[in-house]
Amino acid sequence: MRAPSTQCTDWQAFRAKLTGTYTSVTISGSQDSVGRTCTGAAANTICQAMHNKTTVSALSCGGYTWNVDTSCFVSTPDVEISADNSTCVCQTSGGYDVRPCIGNENWGGMAGVTCNAPSQTLTVTCK
């Protein structure tokens, strides 16, 4: 198994710090700086699932369907978060997926392609 990339290492460090109670989660990026936000108890469920590497499927929040998944990864087992009702799927447009540890070019994207996407900054915030 190859060593995790810097983006994967940073993602794992971020997830490790998610130990509180959260009322908001947002995923955004340079293609969509507003992104998608979930608030309330569902946001805490999503943030805790990222921390604990547990699956959340089809959670409706903020007008979007959120998923946290751990089964998509090639080289380094880790967590994907999406707000477009997809899990381990390449979106050809309109995707909102973050999977920095996938180990290939399908790392995610905001408001567009999520596999072999153009370079962009992706942000996940739990508050």
Cβ neighbour number for residue 52 with a 10 Å cutoff: 13
Domain ranges of the chain: 6-126
Q: Which helix (H) or strand (E) holds 100?
A: none
Predicted confidence at residue 27, as pLDDT, reads: 98
Could you give the count of Cα atoms lying within 13 Å of 42 in the half-sphere of its Cβ?
18
Q: H helices within 22-91, ranges in order?
A: 41-52
Reduce the DSSP state of residue 122 to 3 states and report it: strand
Residue 48 structure tokens: 């805790």
Predicted confidence at residue 1, as pLDDT, reads: 35
Amino acid 51 reads H
Predicted confidence at residue 75, as pLDDT, reads: 64
37-41, 110-114, 117-121: least confident range: 117-121
| Mean pLDDT of all residues belonging to the chain | 91
Residue 52 structure tokens: 């604990």
Predicted confidence at residue 2, as pLDDT, reads: 44
| Cα 99–chain centre separation | 6
- pTM (predicted TM-score): 0.92
Predicted confidence at residue 94, as pLDDT, reads: 92
pLDDT digits (tens, 9 = 90+) for 48-93: 999 999 999 999 999 999 999 988 876 667 899 999 999 888 999 9
